[in-house]
Structure 1
Amino acid sequence: MTPPRLLRPSALGVHLLALLLTGIAVWLGFWQLDAWQAHRQAEATDLTRTEPMPLVDAMGPDDPFPGNLVGQPVTVAGSWVPDGTVYVEGREHDGRDGVWVVTPLAVTGQADAALLVVRGWAATAADAGEPPTGAAQLTGWLQPPEGTGQRDEDPDDDLLPQLRIADAIQHVDQDLYGAYAVVDPDATQTNPGTEALAPADLEQLPEAGRLTALRNLLYAIEWWFFGGFAVFIWWRWMRDDAAPDEGRADQDADDSVV
C-alpha cells in the first residue's frame, strides 16, 4: 500500500525543516521578549534609597549619562559657581507653580568641569535668595539632562524652560557634566546652599524612558512573524502537494463508475 504523499520520506524533510524553523523563530521571539522585560525592569528600579556613590565612580565629565543610574544618589565635592545660577520654570511644589534653582558646582579634581545642581524650589527667582559661594559637599540624586525640544526663547536671561545642558552651558565658563543632581535635603552636607529653598520634589524627577528597549520588543514580534510565515509556507506546500492525489482520486472514482 502506498503511503499518502505527505507521509512519504521525501516529504518528511520538509515537515522537519518547517518545524525547526518555526521552533527557532518562536524561541528567538521569547528571548527578545525577555530582554525587553529585563531592560525595562532594570531602568524602572528605584535607586533613590540606595547607598550613595562618589560621582567619579558613576560617570566622568565627558561620559554620556549612564542609563542604569537614573536616581542614583551620588556624593560630590567642589566649589559653587554662583554666576552660573539659572532657574527652570514650570516646576511644582505642594501644588504651587515655581522654579527650580540650579547652580553649577565645579567638581574637585575635575579641571574645568562642573555639575549642575538643583538646590531646591522657590516660587520665583526673586524668592531664591543669593546663590551660595565657596566650597560645598553634598549628596544628590543623579538625573539625565532634560530634552523635550522646547526652545529657550531668550537665551540671554537666566530663566530656562527645561534643564538642558545645551541651554545651561551658555551661562558658565566651565564644561558641564552630561547630567545634573537634585540635592537630597536629608543627607549630611557642608554648605549645600539650600537653606532658603524648599526641596525639589522627587515626583518631578525625569522618569525612565517609555521607549526603553523598544527594539527588543519589535525584534520579538518580527521573529514571531517569521515563524508564522514559515507555518504558512508549510501549509501552502501541503495543500499544493496533496492536490494531485485528490485529482487522481476523483479520476479513479469516475473510471469505476464507467
Structure 2
Amino acid sequence: MYRFLLTPRWWGINLFVVLAIPFCVFMGSWQLGRFEARVDSHQEAEREPSPDERKAVPLDELLPVDTKTSGRHATATGVYGEQFIVPGRELDGKRGDYVLTLLKTDGGRTLPVVRGWVAEGGRVPAAPAGEVSVTGALQASENAGTDGVHTAGGLPSGQVGMISAASLVNLVPDDVYNAWITLVEADHGLAAVPAASVEGSGLDLKAFQNLGYTGEWFVFAAFVLFMWFRLMRREVEAIRDRELGLEPDPV
C-alpha cells in the first residue's frame, strides 16, 4: 500500500522533507545560540563594574573599541578645532542636536568629541580655547543602523548625519580616530549625552527576537513533518477507497 512513496512525485516530496527539516533545526539552533551568547554577555557584564565606575584611562589604551571598552571613560588632551552639528538627536524625549567638536590631540590625530546636546534652535556655545583635557565615555563609530543617524544626505554646511571617521574623512584633512567620546560633564550651556549601550550585547529587543526566531524555525520543522504525514495519510485513504470501489481509479 505504501509503494506510492517510491513514485517520482513522492520522491520529490520526500527529498524536500529530508532537506527542509534539518535546515529548520539548524537555523533554530543557530538563533538559539545567538540568544544564549547574548545572555552570557549580559551575565558577564553584570559581574563586572559598569564602565563609568572604572578609572578613566588614556584614550589609546582603550582602542580599538569593543564590547569591553565601549562606555569606558577615556581621557585625551589637545586643542579644539572644527565644530559640527549632528541634527535630529533626542534626549529625554526632546528633539535637538549634538554639538560635535574635533579635538586635535597631542598625538596628532583628531578625536570627535560630543560636547553635549542642545535643543532645536538653541544657542551653541563656542568650544573652549587653548589646550584642554577632556574625559568622556568611549563610543564606536556610528553606522547606518544606529538610532538617530541621518543618511539621506543634503545636510547644510556645518552639519553631519553620522559620527564616524568615514563621514568626517572628506570634511577634515586630519587622521580621525575610528571612535568618539561623549563628555561626562557637558560644556556650559549644553546637556550631557549619555553613552549608548553596546550594540549586540545584553538582553535587548534583538536578543528576544533571536529567541522568537528560534521558536519559528522549530515550528516550521514541525509543520513540514505534519504536512508530509497529512499528505501521506490522504494518499493511503485514497488508495483504500479505490480498493473498496468508493472512488474511481485515476485516469
TM-score interval, normalised by the smaller of the two chains:
0.5 to 0.7
Secondary structure in 1 aligned to 2:177?
A: strand
> Identity across aligned pairs (percent)?
17
Deviation at 1:19, TM superposition (A): 11
Counterpart residue number, 1:117 = 113
Aligned with 1:150 (options 149, 152, 157)? 152
Deviation at 1:20, TM superposition (A): 9.1
Change in CA separation of 1:93 and 1:236 when aligned onto 2, cut-off 3 Å: closer
**Shift of the alpha carbon at 1:70?**
8.8
The Cα offsets for residues 155-191 of structure 1, whole Å up to 9 and x where unpaired, read as: 3xx2335535444334432222333211112xxxxxx
Q: CA deviation at 1:222?
A: 4.7
- Residues 189-208 of structure 1: matches in 2 within 5 Å? 194-202=186-194, 205=196, 208=199
Relative to structure 1, the CA distance from residue 19 to residue 206 in structure 2 (aligned partners, 3 Å threshold; closer, same or farther) is closer
Measured against aligned partners, the alpha-carbon deviations of 1:122-181 in whole angstroms (never above 9, x if no partner) come to: 4668541344432524232424425431324333xx233553544433443222233321
Question: Which residue of structure 1 lines up, in the alignment, with residue 5 of structure 2?
Answer: none
Which among 200, 225, 228 is matched to residue 223 of structure 2? 228
Partner of 2:87: 89
Q: Determine the C-alpha separation between the residues in 2 that align with 1:150 and 1:56.
A: 33
Distance 1:79 1:152 in 2: 31
Partner of 2:181: 181
Long gaps (5+) in structure 2: 3-14, 144-148, 247-251
Q: Which residue of structure 2 aligns with residue 102 of structure 1?
A: 100
Change (3 A) 1:168 1:126: farther
Larger deviation, residues 175-184 vs 194-203:
194-203
What is the CA–CA distance in structure 1 between the aligned matches of 2:124 and 2:172, rounded to whole Å? 22
- Superposition pairs for residues 5-16 of structure 1, below 5 Å? none
Question: In the aligned structure 2, how far is the partner of 1:35 from the partner of 1:108?
Answer: 44
Residue equivalent to 1:72 = 71
- Is this contact kept in 1: 2:52–2:73, CA < 8 A? no
Deviation at 1:199, TM superposition (A): 3.2
The structure 1 segments of at least 4 consecutive aligned residues displaced by more than 6 Å after TM superposition are 17-23, 213-217
Q: TM-score, normalised by structure 1?
A: 0.58
Tell me, yes or no, if the aligned pair for 1:28 and 1:223 is still in contact at 8 Å. no
What is the CA-CA distance between 1:40 and the residue it aligns to?
5.8
What is the TM-score when the length of structure 2 is the normalising length? 0.59
Name structure 1 gaps, 5 residues minimum. 7-16, 186-193, 252-258
C-alpha distance in 1, partners of 2:53/2:180? 18
Alpha carbons 2:110, 2:174 under 8 Å: kept: yes
Count matched residues. Answer: 219
Amino acid at match of 2:155: E
SS of the residue aligned with 2:32? helix
Which residue of structure 1 aligns with residue 130 of structure 2?
Answer: 133
Q: Which structure is larger by alpha-carbon Rg, 1 or 2?
A: 1
Give 1:22 deviation, angstroms. Answer: 8.7
Asked if the contact 1:29/1:221 (under 8 Å) is kept, the reply is no
CA distance in 2: counterparts of 1:206 and 1:154, whole angstroms: 29
